[in-house]
Structure 1
């Protein structure tokens, strides 16, 4: 029997707590239906006998208090709502409990922005971790020692797991189901919940906003120039000259401020503009390509797919219902 502790931390988002428990209990029913014993002993675990959640008038009565859990095989950390700083501050006891259980051999899995609570334990310092694409800049700023995996749906390193944003939590739960049972059970579960079992990237959902939460005014000036001139063929040398820097110094400062190289940033700004155009206009792919400063069809398609995980045509078919190719 695998003991699964689904945390009910302060500031928790109720829907992920609910679906996590529902999925493990559903798998138990599948196993019983096939003549096997149920595998998962699922408990909601919290600091108090009644936990008030932040996203609405909801209360959860945990099955167990943290102090009453001697050991568990797997800890599920759901996402927190609201301020990540406040959530971490409110869950200091929970953080210590996670560390203690991990030292006893428990595996740990964070869902969506539950990664912030996981990272606060220090258990992913120097390790790979994923979170919601919309929180990557904040996460990097708070936890620079963690190797953040942009766009990754699931990470697995030394018994510590994480998922990307929002509905990516279903994929990590399926990943764990397959690990603890078998592929056949995982496929059955994916069909029951109508989930794409092998989705590996959240890139097609991500919206690039540019990392401007830094104090380098010169680099911010360049970022704004790039964003206002997406139709131009910009070069590193040209951009460095605009802020009176040498190329090497400029590239170093740009990377330090934005976590992207200059060329990566240019590409991501251009592709983000292309995505918006593809989603909302009747322009064909070549027109969009020229609008964002590309003249080489192969280069545009290669870059687009590298960033989004989809070709421009696939992206258009997925998100645009008014345009015609």
Structure 2
């Protein structure tokens, strides 16, 4: 792609879009700070600014997102939250717009950004037509079903690491937080505090994430029914499992299987 002009020479625009980039692989990192005053100026001129995927990091450097709702690729959302604590990050959303600042989730959500812009400057009828032509589901609003749980391990707390390993290999058993704390030689209260400090998760939330991640794999790659999967991942009641699964993934187990099964 060859540019035909410079941003600082722009006189009139409806939308400015910032392309995503790979972390550590930006060819011209020194150019990013140069964009900041230009983007701020354009926003003052009431120009909408859209950041695709990781480009939200560039937009956030302007300060324009402080106190505003935003999203980004779910894989880097924790880093984004730590880097820009004043931004109201909604990592589950595919697209957000707040005060003319548009952010999207992972790179393919650029198609939803395109539909969003078409609706702003065109019509809902045009959006429906384009979504059919380009096979884009305009009703898909959440990244949550696509998120793969990742667990913080490089925290340096050996006792918490031991607890994590045990939870990850014994999730199918009836585990209590008190029993896990006792196994690693800590009081329950101290264990909960250290676990949260080390992993950014409570022990029970961590255990639920492990179980739901295994359940997702079984829904994707086996024909086991929901009751079987419930017991295989450590829950006794399928109703409890279904509620937790929906809360974490935004889909019911059956909806998840229909969307992601590889069989």
> Could you list the runs of 5+ residues in structure 1 that have no partner in the other structure?
1-59
Q: Is 1:174 aligned to residue 115 of structure 2?
A: yes
- 2:89 is aligned to 148
Q: Is 1:224 aligned to residue 161 of structure 2?
A: no
| Counterpart contact for 1:71–1:101, Cα < 8 Å | no
2:9 pairs with 65, 68, 84, which one?
A: 68
Instruction: Measure the CA separation in 1 of the matches of 2:45 and 2:253.
Output: 48
Instruction: Measure the CA separation in 2 of the matches of 1:90 and 1:168.
Output: 25
- How does the TM-score come out when normalised to structure 1? 0.71
Cα distance, 1:262 vs. partner?
A: 2.9
Q: Cα deviation per residue 1:136-158 (whole Å; 9 max; x = unaligned)?
A: 23323333333322221111222
- 1:289 is aligned to 230
Cα distance, 1:299 vs. partner?
A: 0.8
- 1:320 is aligned to 261
- 1:108 is aligned to 49
> Counterparts of 1:6-45 in structure 2 under 5 Å?
none
| Counterpart contact for 2:46–2:100, Cα < 8 Å | no
Instruction: Measure the CA separation in 1 of the matches of 2:231 and 2:76.
Output: 31
| Counterpart contact for 1:80–1:87, Cα < 8 Å | no
Cα distance, 1:312 vs. partner?
A: 1.3
Instruction: Measure the CA separation in 2 of the matches of 1:304 and 1:219.
Output: 25
1:162 pairs with 75, 78, 103, which one?
A: 103
Q: Cα deviation per residue 1:156-207 (whole Å; 9 max; x = unaligned)?
A: 2222121111322211221232133221121122122111111111222211
Cα distance, 1:88 vs. partner?
A: 5.2
Cα distance, 1:84 vs. partner?
A: 6.9
Greater Cα offset, 238-247 or 143-152: 238-247
- 1:77 is aligned to 18
- 1:56 is aligned to none
- How does the TM-score come out when normalised to structure 2? 0.86
Q: Cα deviation per residue 1:283-306 (whole Å; 9 max; x = unaligned)?
A: 222222111101111111111122
For these two proteins, the number of residue pairs brought into alignment is 263
Q: Cα deviation per residue 1:223-273 (whole Å; 9 max; x = unaligned)?
A: 333222221233333344445555555444444444433322221111011
> Could you list the runs of 5+ residues in structure 2 that have no partner in the other structure?
none
Q: Secondary structure at the match of 1:62?
A: coil
- 2:80 is aligned to 139
Instruction: Measure the CA separation in 2 of the matches of 1:86 and 1:116.
Output: 16
Instruction: Measure the CA separation in 2 of the matches of 1:268 and 1:76.
Output: 35
Q: 1:66 to 1:217 in 2, by over 3 A?
A: farther
Q: 1:295 to 1:186 in 2, by over 3 A?
A: same
Cα distance, 1:82 vs. partner?
A: 4.1
1:280 pairs with 195, 204, 221, which one?
A: 221
1:206 pairs with 147, 151, 154, which one?
A: 147
**RMSD over aligned Cα atoms:** 2.6
1:126 pairs with 59, 67, 71, which one?
A: 67
Higher strand proportion, which one? 1
Cα distance, 1:274 vs. partner?
A: 0.8
